Amino acid sequence: MKMEIKCNFRQELETERLYLKNWQTSFAKDMYNNWATDKEVVKFLSWEPHKNIEETMQIISMWIAEANYNWCIVEKSTNQAIGSINVVRKSDRDFWCEVGYCSSKKVWNRGYMTEALKAVINFLFSEGYYKVQLLHAKENIASGRVMQKAGMTFQGESKAASYVRGKFHDCNVYYALNPNIKLDKNNIVK
Ligand SMILES: CC(C)(COP(=O)(O)OP(=O)(O)OC[C@H]1O[C@@H](n2cnc3c(N)ncnc32)[C@H](O)[C@@H]1OP(=O)(O)O)[C@@H](O)C(=O)NCCC(=O)NCCS
């Protein structure tokens, strides 16, 4: 089997209740109002709450220009942008990537991020990745639940894997392996 990453960075996805859309500057207002200024949302994230909508606009413009897998999550029932999900780290050489996400507190605990993550993992497998991994600070229980509910496997703990506002957090690592890539007993691609 030929191993390659397809790099379809602009592929939009759809789930039962969500659209995963390419970023547009028109999402800035929802992003700013729904999650980018919320201290609770960024509690375990490396970025600071946005100070004004221009900052939100700048970030979105940067994402639009980047060659990366990065989606705005839009709730179908309201047509509002409610969060983001993207590849935060990867090694195409080794066929693995790491996903990160966040969403508006208004829509937490409805199963949305689990739904989005499952769709993104399946898409990244179709893009050619063998392993998709996610990390969460051990205190961030909700994020760990999302990984479990998405069917990922617990890999172990990574000490001081995340540095947020002057504090190191030990993280739990979860992974999923691409069922379409078959290996022999020596881990050689068939
Ligand atoms: C983590 C996050 C994306 C989850 O999104 P979500 O749409 O609420 O996720 P889901 O609804 O699919 O699942 C959340 C699960 O966590 C559980 N949960 C939430 N808070 C919890 C808590 N304090 N303790 C235990 N479980 C908790 C929910 O009950 C739910 O599990 P269940 O379906 O078994 O009941 C969202 O909380 C968020 O954006 N947080 C801030 C950003 C962030 O931390 N990103 C991840 C960095 S690793």
Q: pLDDT tens-digit profile of 76-103?
A: 999 999 999 999 999 999 999 999 999 9
Cβ of 111 closer than 6 Å to ligand 1, yes or no, is yes
If you take atom 27 of ligand 1, which residue's CA is the nearest one? 142
**In this structure, is residue 79 part of a structural domain?**
yes
- Residue pair 124/146 in contact by the 8 Å Cβ criterion: no
Residue-number span of the structural domain to which 161 is assigned: 13-177
**In this structure, is residue 163 part of a structural domain?**
yes
Mutation choice for ligand 1 from 143, 169, 170, 173, CB with most ligand atoms inside 8 A? 143
pLDDT at site 39: 98
**In this structure, is residue 8 part of a structural domain?**
no
174 φ, ψ (degrees, to nearest 5):
-120, 150
Helix (H, G, I), strand (E, B) or coil at 116: helix
Q: pLDDT tens-digit profile of 99-144?
A: 999 999 999 999 999 999 999 999 999 999 999 999 999 999 999 9
In 4-152, DSSP assigns E strands to: 13-14, 18-21, 70-75, 80-91, 96-103, 131-137
- Residue pair 36/29 in contact by the 8 Å Cβ criterion: no
Cα of 7 from ligand 1 centre, angstroms: 29
Per-residue pLDDT at 1 exceeds 90: no
Its pTM stands at 0.98
Within 10 angstroms of residue 178's Cβ, the number of other Cβ atoms is 19
Cβ of 113 closer than 6 Å to ligand 1, yes or no, is yes
**In this structure, is residue 40 part of a structural domain?**
yes
Burial of residue 89, with CB atoms counted within 10 A of its CB: 0-12 exposed, 13-18 middle, 19 or more buried: exposed
Number of domains in the chain: 1
Q: pLDDT tens-digit profile of 14-26?
A: 999 999 999 999 9
Question: What is the rounded radius of gyration, in angstroms, for the C-alpha atoms of the chain?
Answer: 17
Domain harbouring 102, CATH code: 3.40.630.30
